[in-house]
């Protein structure tokens, strides 16, 4: 979990100013600077902050187990990792070799990652089973990998709180789910390719605005 804070402060420094006859002089200038601070909370700090119950602590222990690391590496293909160090623009990045691609044709904004959060509707801390990516309504949703459609709900606008949604089976126990669609364009048992349009972003089901709710299970 990361917390972002910011402040605005004035910073002064000297600059060399060229004169008309080739001479230079020193002047002090003051600039208004936006300082952004990013604080990372460890899983243990999150547990203490949110006062996890016994079941939540059990899930946390499972997620932190050493044998889960290869799974995260496989699922997070394409995400950069900096080894805990600050990465400067243009520097080398290590990339995981995962099976999944980004499920949208645009970057989007992650408004709620998977994990425990304060529910925006109830105000209570609860487990969020997917990642919410905010993009304009009608944005195409892309299959994250080759697979078979196992759920194609384009009729029930509540859909068990998912609204219109699609679920894909990618084999080997790996599945993905795409929820809150405005409409879908696949059918059950249909074979799809990675990057194929399977639905369009909407806000059906339990949601406060248009976004893609994206789940990965494996």
Euclidean distance between CA atoms 195 and 190, whole angstroms: 15
CA dihedral 103→200→115→173, nearest 10 degrees, is -60
Euclidean distance between CA atoms 15 and 184, whole angstroms: 59
Using CB atoms within 10 Å of the CB of residue 178, give its burial: 0 to 12 exposed, 13 to 18 middle, 19+ buried.
Answer: buried
Tally of CB atoms within 10 A around 149: 19
Euclidean distance between CA atoms 67 and 134, whole angstroms: 32
Residue 55: its pLDDT value, please? 78
Place 36 in a pLDDT band, splitting at 50, 70 and 90.
low
Residue 72: its pLDDT value, please? 54
Residue 83: its pLDDT value, please? 41
Q: Rounded mean pLDDT of 117-145? A: 84
pLDDT in tens, 20-30: 776 777 888 78
Task: Indicate whether this model's pTM tops 0.85.
Answer: no
Q: Answer for the pair 20, 43: CB distance below 8 angstroms, yes or no.
A: no
Examine the pLDDT at 76 and tell me if it is beyond 60: no
pLDDT in tens, 51-61: 778 877 777 77
């Amino acid at each position: 979990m990361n917390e972002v804070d910011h402040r605005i402060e004035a910073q002064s420094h000297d600059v060399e100013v060229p004169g008309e006859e080739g001479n230079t002089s020193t002047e002090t200038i003051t600039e208004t600077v936006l300082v952004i601070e990013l604080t990372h909370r460890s899983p243990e700090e999150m547990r203490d902050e949110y006062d996890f119950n016994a079941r939540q602590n059990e899930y946390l222990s499972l997620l932190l187990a050493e044998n889960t690391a290869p799974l995260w590496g496989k699922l997070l293909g394409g995400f950069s990792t900096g080894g805990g160090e600050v990465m400067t623009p243009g520097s080398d990045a290590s990339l995981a070799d995962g099976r999944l691609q980004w499920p949208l044709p645009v970057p989007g904004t992650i408004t709620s990652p998977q994990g425990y959060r304060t529910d925006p509707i109830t105000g209570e801390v609860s487990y969020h089973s997917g990642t919410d990516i905010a993009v304009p309504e009608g944005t195409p949703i892309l299959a994250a990998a080759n697979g078979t459609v196992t759920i194609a709900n384009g009729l029930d606008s509540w859909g068990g709180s998912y609204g219109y949604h699609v679920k894909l089976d990618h084999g080997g126990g790996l599945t993905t789910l795409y929820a809150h669609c405005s409409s879908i364009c696949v059918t059950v048992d249909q074979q799809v390719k990675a990057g194929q349009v399977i639905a369009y972003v909407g806000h059906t089901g339990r949601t406060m605005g248009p976004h893609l709710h994206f789940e990965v299970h494996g």
